[in-house]
Structure 1
């Protein structure tokens, strides 16, 4: 028996945990945390440790498949050469007949091939690529940070100085471990004495470890931030030296929040004024402090100004780029060569939604992409032009995009749908070609963590090969060669070499060590200022003003709420939040993994005891949760750890054990309840995913349950 230990970094989610992969005779048999990793120091979540079960799962896709006899037919295997030849010919035909913009690219969130997909789109000449979270998750925080501070910031969890206070806003890192801000480091900071404040309608796993929990009404985060800034400015507890020397627009911001005292905030958010004041004072007076924000603040139609309000709150504290605070990035890697120069200006102007949503698809966007509702409209109605083909790399849009019924109709109408994935999913089951993708232990890549700031660089190493599974980047490169696209003479090795040049390391040298982690440099702005037009933190954003958006943060009531839609609230009296993370799963993945599914066998909905009593519901009962758009069936969890009147449901649920092609898609899919229609955030095109209205009712258990 040949045994090999391979050092890598786990990419089963956004994460970044150092991993030791045990390989016996070419088979992955064990994955454990790497105790030498500067990020995780030996810690690893249950998903990562279950990687051998996933890699060796009998249901893995291991060879290319082609649809037989039209959409209603079965599958037949074919060689990689035949699959790539046929797909490239069909893509070329669509490009020739109706233009490259008629072919769209999609992917899932946090993938190793994320930026390679953007590269492939630019080379292909299409402006229409998407990822489910772009307008709804992370990109608004990155974009607003760039506009406000001139760069993205992240909590200094890995430095020598520990924070005195952590304000977790719409974020549950003890479960999500998002983007390199791992659960273990946040947990250790709290255990070592950092005071925690949690802003969340749920008392999440993170909030349960905090001293102060602010269970605000979903969708009112901007009002809470404005009220907290009112307190900080009124009480003169902001960092006056930092604000005077390193910010612009303080007087305008102070005037904007003068009319937002805590009692105003209480009326809107439901958080008592005394708690708003306490949280504001605790955060502002703590030195250093981290404001750790999550996607809970972005999934609303006031996305830009909600994120801006919280960004300005952070700036008032003066905890930017200080040890133990929110630090600007070292950006150790060279930017990914996404071939943006190869996308013609005429194509950029055709990007769906770019003209309306300038921070999503326009020239000032951080990662210009298509507006998903507009993309679906182009698939369904060929408005303003036809989108006829879609290539999806590691995505499952029937589970991860809002308004599942519309998504299903749009995918069904395409002339060409190609899906590369690990397993047959409801989305893959609609495809014309299904391609077997490599799992993270089968992948070569480099990545900087935390994401965007890139303060550490890790090597992801291929340890095993399963069947004919291929890395997504390889698939794109092979298609690019057949289509004779710009940049097709370069491969992934060339890209990795370019990215590592600033570190003076080869890929082989990085793999030998596993990572590069130079000492962090703090207070970088003191040398050259912030990377904004004014060289300062812009509380009043001149960039937003030039783009035609409000330069100061403000609050706007959600379009579907108890306040704005009292007529709807008569039938749907509760507030719905979707997307609660679970340790066992990453979005719609891992439902077929027996060990993980055993830990969480059923989809769950959390509700407060007040609502449970009203409807005669106990924990473990099956309930139906309905919105004006549909209903789902879930098991109730009755808990005090949620704001009364709020119902929180898990997302991403399908049932691989059921018969395809639907695999139980229509039973417990949270996006049957969501809406992707207007109004949209004017800058990002964000639609409302949280704070929607719903009702609940108890169901009788079925005979087999």
Structure 2
């Protein structure tokens, strides 16, 4: 790997009496691994006084979102957790029962409880509840290695976020993830002579500007538009980029697979595919061509509620563009039919010859990953590894991701089958707040019932920690820690940036990596002895020992370079042979791996489990198709609700409803409404807008109210506006992936929960809204 020196300003310098530290961000302020460049300005006391974008960062070029620009308010907020605290388990949910302790006491408690619980129930009784996290990559592997448990678990049903796409990519392409080529890893980016601007960019279920997902810098779409790229957007909801698109295919939520099969139908039947690539580098083209005859454009038009002529024209536009790229988003993962949608997306890339070419979709090579493979399983026996929850029921999910299956984890908590879960650790996960758990109250009740000891570590006290934890450990923010941010979790050779402490730490906070290092040495000293010190641990775990953290810090941001057409050069396979790292050595349009896991080796369309077509009998009661989780500029999932500037922009949770539907229901802009289905209920304010089609509503997720009562059952009002209460568990696809977060039915009614429930029911359910509190005041006012 070639490390290119940064050519901008030094990583730290003085400016008008302030110390400026060039760094990059992960979370907080919340983001996926783009590694946006920042400049932290600190005064002589080591206090953060200003944040600016770093114009020297080669990809983001000084551009920042509101979350970064308000980081000063985040870092210096009085509600931050500053010291370790413990609480007797019998007082869970009571905010006044926390007592401050030392770090030594906290580590002693963790060690004693871990030894007690694993001696009684075995190592599998410990679980790590993983979210996006606070580090520059997932915390799960080293948390699992610390506790010698296989059960680290992202708690969203069907792992319905990013990893289903990664798994499908691994099985179809033999590469972790094909991403739009936005020249991020190339010196000079768009001006690099190797790069070509894509003639067409197709955005499938992806709103890149507010989401900046998984390492892809969303604003690069705008950069490429300015350089001539044209857009096709496929999304139920109109957004900024779709208003600039040549074709905006506003489909019914959950029907993406049918639309993409129809596009494949057009491209194949009209002979618009790349014959040379198909013949040399794909497997199963004839079978795919036969399968897509089942969904011609006319049929897809009816299924998807999209004009047939638009489907045909968009397919031709994509196929005829040389090069073209596809950016595919979270909508792929949030349906039971998502693996088939992913298969179609990769088939489109492959048959048009747009894989790993300049301006197409790039993939990582065999040597590109910076992760230590199998690290999380390094401290456990083969018997313990084999007990990973879901490994035998869903090998495609658990065997590839080395994660416990989320739905089966919930089952184990509720039933103690196949074994009990008695100790847990929140790793950057506020699962109760409508972020990464379906039916969150069900998770809450199961954890309270099952767990004898639960640990939280975070910057804030969250509803999840307040309700279910016995130990709270305070974390640093991105401005106070060392770390590495690698785009796409290192699977693509784009960039990685270095997080560098810029200010004096608040209280006695530590970073996740420091917690991992210190706990690891205590609980697994033999394994952790391979690292000489903390910096050595970070260097080897995050940089694969290719350079020290100190060396990397001076470079600030490192562009990793990119070699195109790696399949022609033997760079995708461990054996050095040409082709793709699949059983056939080709892109598998007919997937041998899907067949091995008991699914159809070819794409197929299935209706969402609850839809106007599959469950028409529910329409009288639940007439709207509900889609959730559209990203916002102000917040990252549940994070940032304490920050006044962000709350001023978007003070309360909303849902989008078409003006025709709103008029029929007597709903005006900003009216409080109740959304309900057979799984749950919540209240949100109406945003009356044509950005959604008639019959469709889109709801905010990740809401809680930090200014409200922290105690059970209220828990900062976390249940009142929790859209995930309407999403069920155990509705995954055949291989265990996906859940209907973006395609389910609901009703909408003007009014509030207080109109429908007695005061006693509201109090018991935690739905009441304290009238005397206001978000502008905050709990420390």
Q: Does the TM-score normalized on the shorter chain lie above 0.5?
A: yes
- Is the contact made by 1:232 and 1:284 (CA closer than 8 Å) also made in structure 2? yes
Q: Which residue of 2 aligns with 1:213?
A: 248
Q: Which residue of 1 aligns with 2:722?
A: 669
In structure 2, distance between residues paired with 1:458 and 1:80? 30
Within 5 Å, give how 1:299-338 maps onto structure 2: 299-329=334-364, 332=368, 334-336=370-372, 338=375
1:86 shift after superposition: 0.7
1:512 shift after superposition: 0.8
Within 5 Å, give how 1:336-355 maps onto structure 2: 336=372, 338-355=375-392
Within 5 Å, give how 1:575-590 maps onto structure 2: 575-590=625-640
- Is the contact made by 1:109 and 1:132 (CA closer than 8 Å) also made in structure 2? no
In structure 2, relative to structure 1, the CA distance for the partners of 1:357 and 1:168 (3 Å cut) is same
In structure 2, relative to structure 1, the CA distance for the partners of 1:594 and 1:187 (3 Å cut) is same
- Is the contact made by 2:142 and 2:376 (CA closer than 8 Å) also made in structure 1? yes
Within 5 Å, give how 1:524-673 maps onto structure 2: 524-528=566-570, 529-661=579-711, 662-673=715-726
Secondary structure class of the residue paired with 2:334: coil
CA RMSD of aligned residues (A): 2.0
Which of 412, 419, 424 is the equivalent residue of 1:390?
424
In structure 1, distance between residues paired with 2:511 and 2:417? 34
In structure 1, distance between residues paired with 2:448 and 2:526? 31
Which of 1, 8, 13 is the equivalent residue of 2:31?
13
In structure 2, distance between residues paired with 1:450 and 1:64? 32
Secondary structure class of the residue paired with 1:329: coil
In structure 1, distance between residues paired with 2:509 and 2:621? 49
Secondary structure class of the residue paired with 1:598: helix
Q: Which residue of 2 aligns with 1:189?
A: 224
Which of 152, 161, 179 is the equivalent residue of 1:154?
179
In structure 2, distance between residues paired with 1:454 and 1:390? 34
In structure 1, distance between residues paired with 2:643 and 2:535? 32
Q: Which moved more, 1:576-585 or 1:532-541?
A: 532-541
The aligned length equals: 701
Q: 1:142-186 CA deviation, whole Å, 9 max, x = no partner? A: 111122222122111124321111110011111101122112211
1:500 shift after superposition: 7.0
Within 5 Å, give how 1:64-213 maps onto structure 2: 64-68=84-88, 70-71=91-92, 73=94, 74-109=97-132, 111-112=134-135, 114-132=137-155, 135-151=159-175, 152-158=177-183, 159-160=189-190, 161-213=196-248
In structure 2, relative to structure 1, the CA distance for the partners of 1:616 and 1:370 (3 Å cut) is same
Secondary structure class of the residue paired with 1:577: strand
Secondary structure class of the residue paired with 1:283: helix
Secondary structure class of the residue paired with 1:291: strand
Q: Which residue of 1 aligns with 2:287?
A: 252
- Is the contact made by 2:93 and 2:466 (CA closer than 8 Å) also made in structure 1? no
Q: Which residue of 1 aligns with 2:404?
A: 370
In structure 2, distance between residues paired with 1:485 and 1:402? 37
In structure 2, distance between residues paired with 1:647 and 1:547? 35
In structure 2, relative to structure 1, the CA distance for the partners of 1:72 and 1:692 (3 Å cut) is closer
Q: Which moved more, 1:583-592 or 1:102-111?
A: 102-111
Q: Which residue of 2 aligns with 1:22?
A: 41
- Is the contact made by 2:332 and 2:339 (CA closer than 8 Å) also made in structure 1? no
In structure 2, distance between residues paired with 1:2 and 1:82? 40
1:123 shift after superposition: 4.4
- Is the contact made by 1:190 and 1:209 (CA closer than 8 Å) also made in structure 2? no
Which of 309, 320, 323 is the equivalent residue of 1:274?
309
1:504 shift after superposition: 4.6
In structure 2, distance between residues paired with 1:393 and 1:22? 29
Q: Which residue of 2 aligns with 1:42?
A: 62
In structure 2, distance between residues paired with 1:183 and 1:113? 18
Q: Which moved more, 1:70-79 or 1:268-277?
A: 70-79
- Is the contact made by 2:263 and 2:315 (CA closer than 8 Å) also made in structure 1? yes
1:672 shift after superposition: 1.3
Is 2:497 the counterpart of 1:458? yes
- Is the contact made by 2:333 and 2:739 (CA closer than 8 Å) also made in structure 1? no
In structure 1, distance between residues paired with 2:702 and 2:544? 39
Q: Which residue of 1 aligns with 2:445?
A: 409
- Is the contact made by 2:134 and 2:512 (CA closer than 8 Å) also made in structure 1? no
1:298 shift after superposition: 1.1
Is 2:749 the counterpart of 1:697? yes
Is 2:460 the counterpart of 1:446? no
In structure 1, distance between residues paired with 2:391 and 2:213? 28
In structure 2, relative to structure 1, the CA distance for the partners of 1:254 and 1:38 (3 Å cut) is same
1:496 shift after superposition: 3.0
1:335 shift after superposition: 2.2
In structure 2, distance between residues paired with 1:458 and 1:72? 39
In structure 2, relative to structure 1, the CA distance for the partners of 1:22 and 1:479 (3 Å cut) is same
In structure 1, distance between residues paired with 2:382 and 2:225? 49
In structure 2, relative to structure 1, the CA distance for the partners of 1:111 and 1:530 (3 Å cut) is farther
- Is the contact made by 2:597 and 2:735 (CA closer than 8 Å) also made in structure 1? no
Secondary structure class of the residue paired with 1:487: helix
Where in structure 1 are there 5+ consecutive unaligned residues?
none
Q: 1:609-667 CA deviation, whole Å, 9 max, x = no partner? A: 12111101121211111121222111111111112111100000000010113101111
In structure 2, relative to structure 1, the CA distance for the partners of 1:339 and 1:384 (3 Å cut) is closer
In structure 2, relative to structure 1, the CA distance for the partners of 1:687 and 1:332 (3 Å cut) is closer
Which of 430, 436, 447 is the equivalent residue of 2:474?
436
In structure 2, relative to structure 1, the CA distance for the partners of 1:256 and 1:111 (3 Å cut) is farther
Which of 555, 558, 567 is the equivalent residue of 1:513?
555
Q: 1:77-130 CA deviation, whole Å, 9 max, x = no partner? A: 000100111122101111110011101001221541644421231342211111
1:416 shift after superposition: 0.8
Is 2:461 the counterpart of 1:424? yes
1:131 shift after superposition: 2.0
- Is the contact made by 2:656 and 2:688 (CA closer than 8 Å) also made in structure 1? yes
Secondary structure class of the residue paired with 2:463: coil
1:339 shift after superposition: 4.3
In structure 2, distance between residues paired with 1:72 and 1:695? 32
TM-score normalised over the length of structure 2: 0.87
- Is the contact made by 1:545 and 1:551 (CA closer than 8 Å) also made in structure 2? yes
Q: Which residue of 2 aligns with 1:468?
A: 508
1:590 shift after superposition: 0.4
TM-score normalised over the length of structure 1: 0.96
Q: Which moved more, 1:378-387 or 1:573-582?
A: 378-387
Secondary structure class of the residue paired with 2:637: coil
In structure 2, relative to structure 1, the CA distance for the partners of 1:403 and 1:467 (3 Å cut) is same
- Is the contact made by 2:653 and 2:700 (CA closer than 8 Å) also made in structure 1? yes
In structure 2, distance between residues paired with 1:479 and 1:93? 16
Secondary structure class of the residue paired with 2:118: helix
- Is the contact made by 2:137 and 2:485 (CA closer than 8 Å) also made in structure 1? no
1:485 shift after superposition: 5.2
Q: Which moved more, 1:598-607 or 1:2-11?
A: 2-11
